[in-house]
């Protein structure tokens, strides 16, 4: 009995102690000497930004499944890494070269330019709200990475993206004067390892949240936690056109794309082609029943992330809506939601007015404050 009590007491002590240690790591701010080194390269605030507990509307405060804990110093380091060209083989590309804040962390080119003049095979996915992915969500268009950390390792070593041996990267970064300071703040010692690089980047990627769109505001103002009414009720904060678009979206789109309160399907075939040149999930698994299946992207800030689809084939949201309205192609794996009872592709046959309403609704998912948030901006001078 006694020994069990002892064990419990020491466990308790251990937990309190490690919590204190974590707090210390978190709270330590820069000394003047450290600041003068950092300021030669970086424009960092004296007080680190608040990444751990961002201001979010109530309907976004639950969730945040799995993954590393975010600390303010960890995510600050992650932000510097995210913008640092030294992470690529030829020092020409950073994560932020393809994930641009002004475009909600997506790229304006259909295919992004990587190291040594290479191009990526697919359109860069927007990053945002990754921390709200459920367990069944993978990363990339074919969901080949099961965590942000794995995704980061794959990206850094991919010869078309950054082309750096991930294990050697730690050595390369040691030569840069700002990293020992930033690693010390984030992890309690200045040692640079590939695990720590992935961890800090993952903290930053998970800290990228956007919760201040017009629709978020309307949910907060008009529903007062009666969230189940989002699908059916008109929201006074939206225009009648946007409300009409919301109706159409909830009817035709949300079962796959989710709404701002729940996620929809992880992967689907949305009838882009009869024959896909890129088989998506099927190319990875070789399973014909998965040919032409791709990740269903989240649609937050969608008005800012053109071009659209895995190959960036559509330039505008009007084109996207027209695809669903009249362009869905027959494919053996076409999702049942997009088929009629006889198995042929649905044609929504929307009026011009309804198509415009749907686009107007998609614009209510834009969060301008996110684009200007200094916590996600380039820290380099």
**Interface ranges with ligand HEC (CB under 6 A):** 82, 87, 93, 95, 97-99, 112, 114, 120, 122, 124-125, 127, 130, 139-141, 148, 151-152, 155-156, 161-162, 201, 205, 252-253, 256-257, 265, 268, 270, 272, 294, 296-297, 299, 302, 305, 308-310, 320-321, 324, 335, 337-338, 358
Question: What is the closest distance, in whole angstroms, from the C-beta atom of residue 324 to ligand HEC in the complex?
Answer: 4
Nearer CB in complex with ligand HEC: 26/194 = 194
Nearer to ligand HEC, 16 or 347 (CB): 347
CA dihedral angle for residue 82, residue 88, residue 92, residue 93, rounded to 10 degrees: -40
Nearest approach in angstroms of CB 162 to ligand HEC is 5
Q: What is the CA radius of gyration of the chain?
A: 23
CB of 54 or CB of 297, closer to ligand HEC: 297
**Cβ of residue 81: shortest distance to ligand HEC, in angstroms?**
7
φ and ψ at residue 135, rounded to 5 degrees: -60, -30
By beta-carbon proximity to ligand HEC, the closer residue of 72 and 147 is: 147
Nearest CB to ligand HEC, comparing residues 282 and 297: 297
Smallest gap, in angstroms, from Cβ of residue 95 to ligand HEC? 3
Give the whole-angstrom CA distance, residue 316 versus residue 376: 26
Looking at the Cβ atoms of 173 and 299, the one nearer to ligand HEC is 299
User: Smaller CB distance to ligand HEC: residue 223 or 334?
Assistant: 334
Q: How far is the CB of 374 from ligand HEC (least distance, A)?
A: 19
CB 101 within 8 A of CB 127: no
Supply the minimum distance, in Å, between the C-beta of residue 229 and ligand HEC: 21
What is the sign, positive or negative, of the torsion defined by CA atoms of 119, 122, 128, 129? negative
Q: Whose Cβ is closer to ligand HEC: residue 72's or residue 129's?
A: 129
For residue 280, the minimal CB distance to ligand HEC (Å) is 6
Residue 129: C-alpha distances to residues 132, 201, 204, 373 (Å): 6, 15, 11, 15
Residue found under tokens 């032409």:
292
User: Least separation, in Å, of the C-beta of 4 and ligand HEC?
Assistant: 45
Angstrom distance (rounded) from CA 59 to CA 225:
8
Give CB contacts under 8 A, 24+ apart, made by 189-195: 194/153, 194/166, 194/167, 194/169, 194/170
Minimum Å distance from CB 270 to ligand HEC? 4
Query: Residue 302 in contact with residue 290, Cβ under 8 Å?
Result: no
Rank residues 132 and 308 by Cβ distance to ligand HEC and give the closer one. Answer: 308
Question: 215: closest CA among 306, 302, 100?
Answer: 302
Both tokens of 215, joined, read 């629709």
Q: Which of 177, 171, 176, 175 lies closest to 194, judged by CA?
A: 171
Task: Measure the CA–CA gap between 162 and 153, rounded to whole angstroms.
Answer: 10
Find all residues with CB under 8 Å of 181, minimum gap 6, and list them: 30, 34, 37, 38, 190
How far is the C-alpha of 57 from the C-alpha of 63, rounded, in Å?
Answer: 12
Q: CB 161 → ligand HEC: shortest distance, Å?
A: 4
- Toward ligand HEC, which CB reaches closer, 179 or 324? 324
Question: How far is Cα 162 from Cα 167, in angstroms, rounded to an integer?
Answer: 13
Residue 184's contacts (CB-CB under 8 Å, 6 or more residues apart) are: 190
């Amino acid at each position: 009995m006694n020994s069990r009590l002892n064990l419990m007491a020491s466990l308790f002590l251990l937990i309190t102690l490690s919590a204190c240690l974590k707090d210390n790591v978190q709270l330590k701010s820069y000394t003047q000497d450290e600041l003068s080194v950092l300021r030669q390269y970086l424009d960092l605030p004296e007080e680190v930004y608040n990444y751990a507990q961002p201001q979010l509307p109530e309907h976004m405060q639950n969730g945040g499944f799995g993954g590393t804990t975010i600390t303010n110093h960890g995510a600050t380091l992650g932000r510097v890494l995210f913008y640092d060209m030294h992470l690529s083989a030829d020092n020409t590309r950073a994560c932020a070269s393809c994930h641009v804040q002004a475009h909600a962390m997506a790229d304006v080119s259909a295919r992004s330019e990587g190291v040594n003049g290479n191009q990526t095979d697919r359109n860069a996915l927007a990053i945002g709200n990754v921390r709200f992915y459920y367990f069944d969500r993978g990363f990339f268009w074919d969901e080949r990475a099961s965590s942000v950390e794995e995704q980061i390792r794959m990206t850094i070593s991919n010869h078309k993206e950054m082309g750096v041996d991930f294990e050697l990267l730690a050595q390369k970064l040691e030569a840069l004067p700002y990293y020992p300071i930033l690693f010390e703040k984030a992890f309690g010692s200045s040692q640079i390892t590939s695990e720590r690089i992935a961890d800090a980047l993952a903290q930053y990627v998970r800290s990228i949240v956007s919760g201040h769109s017009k629709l978020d505001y309307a949910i907060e103002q008009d529903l007062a936690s009666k969230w189940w009414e989002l699908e059916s009720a008109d929201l006074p904060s939206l225009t009648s056109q946007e409300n009409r678009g919301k109706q159409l979206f909830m009817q035709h789109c949300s079962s796959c794309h989710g709404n701002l309160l729940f996620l929809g399907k992880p992967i689907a075939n949305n009838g882009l082609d009869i024959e896909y040149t890129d088989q998506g999930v099927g190319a990875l698994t070789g399973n014909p029943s998965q040919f032409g299946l791709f990740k269903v992207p989240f649609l937050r800030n969608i008005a800012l992330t053109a071009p659209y689809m895995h190959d960036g084939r559509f330039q505008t949201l009007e084109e996207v809506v027209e695809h669903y309205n009249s362009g869905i192609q027959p494919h053996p794996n076409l999702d049942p939601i997009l088929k009629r009872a006889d198995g042929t592709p649905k044609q929504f046959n929307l009026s011009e007015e309804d198509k415009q309403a749907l686009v107007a609704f998609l614009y209510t998912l834009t969060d301008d404050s996110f684009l200007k948030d200094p916590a996600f901006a380039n820290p380099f001078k």
